[in-house]
């Protein structure tokens, strides 16, 4: 897996608040009747691991095609990701670590993984939560699955007494940054270099944050 090479922070700006576009999502994360009445978000199950692995492999291969070495890109295989998710779902690191899946009918088309934030500097507190990853299959985008996942993630973190959410994004990933920015997750001044290749190749990530 990738490893972090270094980490640098600056003074955090005024906290932003998460702006959720629920799109008719009820408290249990199902969509209201309408064109996407079969769209929902639920807690992930061990049996979801193959579908989640497929989504992750598809999304990561496209997202990192121009930023990681070819030999690393080749390791982004659905079965490998599925194996990791299967083990994580069987034995989660903590009660707050959750996998949420977005469904179109019975088909898993996206997922989000959340948990407590790692306290890496004085700006991160014990009540911060982290959105570790959020991904939607390219064929299922622009119909609200990402917003539903983010909404469910915020609800789950809030229920776990988290007061803020943070996430790390590749600095050059304009699509993801536009999505999180629209939701109120804004850069807080922290960045890090993540090692992504055997020769020490790195990509820069920036941290975004919002109050819950």
| pLDDT tens, residue order, the chain (212 aa) | 334 343 444 434 445 666 555 333 333 344 333 345 589 999 999 999 999 999 999 999 999 999 999 999 999 999 999 999 999 999 999 999 999 999 999 999 999 999 999 888 899 999 999 999 999 999 999 999 999 999 999 999 999 999 999 999 999 999 999 999 999 999 999 999 999 999 999 999 999 999 99
* 40 CB neighbour count, 10 Å cutoff: 21
Segments making up each domain of the chain, as ranges: 3-211
The CATH superfamily label for domain 3-211 reads Gcn5-related N-acetyltransferase (GNAT) (3.40.630.30)
* 112 CB neighbour count, 10 Å cutoff: 27
Beta bridge partners of 170: 205
Q: What share of the chain is helix, strand, coil (3-state, %, to 5)?
A: 30, 30, 40
The two tokens of residue 91 are 């034995």
Which candidate, 195, 182, 207, 155, places its Cα nearest to that of 68? 195
Q: For the whole model, what pTM was predicted?
A: 0.84
Which candidate, 187, 177, 179, 176, places its Cα nearest to that of 210? 187
Q: Give the β-pairing of 186-195 and 39-43.
A: unpaired
């Amino acid at each position: 897996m990738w490893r972090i090479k270094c980490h640098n922070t600056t003074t955090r700006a005024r906290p932003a608040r998460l702006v959720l576009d629920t799109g008719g999502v009820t408290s249990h994360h199902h969509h209201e009747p309408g064109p996407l009445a079969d769209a929902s978000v639920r807690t992930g199950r061990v049996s979801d691991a193959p579908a989640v692995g497929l989504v992750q492999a598809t999304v990561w291969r496209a997202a990192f095609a121009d930023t990681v070495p070819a030999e690393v890109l080749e390791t982004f295989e659905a079965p490998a990701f599925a194996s990791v998710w299967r083990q994580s779902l069987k034995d989660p690191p903590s009660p707050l670590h959750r996998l949420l899946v977005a469904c179109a009918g019975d088909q898993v088309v996206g997922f989000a993984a959340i948990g407590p934030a790692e306290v890496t500097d004085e700006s991160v507190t014990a009540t911060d939560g982290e959105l570790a990853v959020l991904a939607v299959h390219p064929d299922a985008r622009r119909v609200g699955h990402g917003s539903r996942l983010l909404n469910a993630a915020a609800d789950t973190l809030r229920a776990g007494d988290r007061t803020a959410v943070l996430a790390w994004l590749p600095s050059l990933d304009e699509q993801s940054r536009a999505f999180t920015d629209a939701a109120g997750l804004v850069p807080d001044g922290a960045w890090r270099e993540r090692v992504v290749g055997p020769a020490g190749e790195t990509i820069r990530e920036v941290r975004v944050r919002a109050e819950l």
